[in-house]
Amino acid sequence: MRTPLSWLADRYSLGARSVRLAALGSVTASIAIIVTGGIVRVTGSGLGCTDWPMCTGETLAPTAEMGVHGAIEFGNRLLTGVLCAVVGWVIITARLQEKPMPAVLRGGWAQFWIVVLNAIVGGVTVWMRLSPYIVAAHFLAATLLLTAAVYTWHAAYADPAAGAGAGADGAGPGAPGSGARIRALSGALVAATALLVVVGTLATGSGPHAGDSSDVARMPFDWTAVTVVHGVLAGAVLVLAGALLSVLPGDGFGAARRKAVVFVAVLLGQGLVGLVQSLTALPSLLVMLHLLGSALVWTGVLQVHFTVRRACSGDSGPLGDAPLPRARGASTYV
């Protein structure tokens, strides 16, 4: 079926650099939407707009009487439009590649639908008057968007024509069977980090609502106990990251090792911010820094995992920017 994108693809083409920059832009925008959501929270602006999708029952935008809280909440909503534009550019640049990038295209469309999902969850958050469970779901939906963005960013550097270099046992570079152990540790690291993020939402939902002086419902958990569990999980993630680093060979896994080192550094910084904010009654600035750190930790662990998987499969280096001859039937991609 012919679509506007297939019509454009028959007439124009872009180099791989364009899709990589677009994918990086979507990662940046996904992190920004998490941070601005934190600004909404710490300024007590979650109900700055009292309805959704309209800001009020009568107006799309906030009125002067709604003050700064209305402006902050509405500004966060407007960022969804910016995010849609960025994701749209990812889809367009992926579709206009001379050499088809189906993984990038799938990642771009996944981001689009997750943006729609997150907007709906945001609306439910307003309708439910900031229920901590829906607020947690809103954050997790934003994290899911970041997951799709990082996947797309990584896929933009993968050569779709590269063959898998792993042997029959799937070991890849290094000693026989080492690839399976490395992949297992990498998967465990991602799973533990995901659990860390989820428990972090419980700590947020059961603790004081930083920056909001109104009576906002909290989750019925003991905040101190949940915070301790969150800290123990962070320690477990650190141990797993160290274990992964210890088994990564230098040959063929240099990029994975570098990203693992960066991940450990970001995790340690995030742990320090979390400890200080817990001991200092959740100051607004540290709450926002901790949200930023959460996004960077999740981005980091995904980068490590995707790079490890690629190294284990023996894929070649990233695509060059020079266009390649168009494959017949490429216009069948949406």
Taking only the tens place, the pLDDT of each residue in 252-275 is 888 999 999 999 999 999 999 999
φ, ψ dihedrals at 285, nearest 5°: -60, -40
Count of domains forming the chain: 2
Q: Are 48 and 74 a contacting pair, CB within 8 Å?
A: yes
Structure tokens at 51: 């309805």
Question: Is residue 328 assigned to a domain?
Answer: no
Q: How confident is the model at residue 84 (pLDDT cuts 50, 70, 90)?
A: very high
- Quickly list DSSP for 96-109: TBSS--HHHHHHHH
| Residue (of 80, 78, 91, 90) closest to 27 by Cα position | 90
Q: Of the residues 131, 160, 189, which one is the last residue of a structural domain?
A: 160
Please indicate, yes or no, whether residues 151 and 236 belong to a single structural domain of this protein.
no
Question: Is residue 330 assigned to a domain?
Answer: no
Q: Is the pLDDT score of 32 beyond 90?
A: yes
Residue-level pLDDT at 330 = 35
Amino acid sitting at position 273: V
Please indicate, yes or no, whether residues 145 and 224 belong to a single structural domain of this protein.
no
Residue-level pLDDT at 210 = 62
Please indicate, yes or no, whether residues 1 and 103 belong to a single structural domain of this protein.
yes
Taking only the tens place, the pLDDT of each residue in 104-130 is 999 999 999 999 999 999 999 999 988
φ, ψ dihedrals at 79, nearest 5°: -65, -25
Please indicate, yes or no, whether residues 146 and 2 belong to a single structural domain of this protein.
yes
Question: Is residue 109 assigned to a domain?
Answer: yes
Residue span of the structural domain in which 24 resides: 1-160
Question: Is residue 200 assigned to a domain?
Answer: yes
| Residue (of 233, 252, 253, 234) closest to 244 by Cα position | 253
Q: What is the mean pLDDT of residues 313-331?
A: 41
Taking only the tens place, the pLDDT of each residue in 137-176 is 999 999 999 999 999 999 998 744 333 334 333 444 444 4
Residue-level pLDDT at 143 = 97
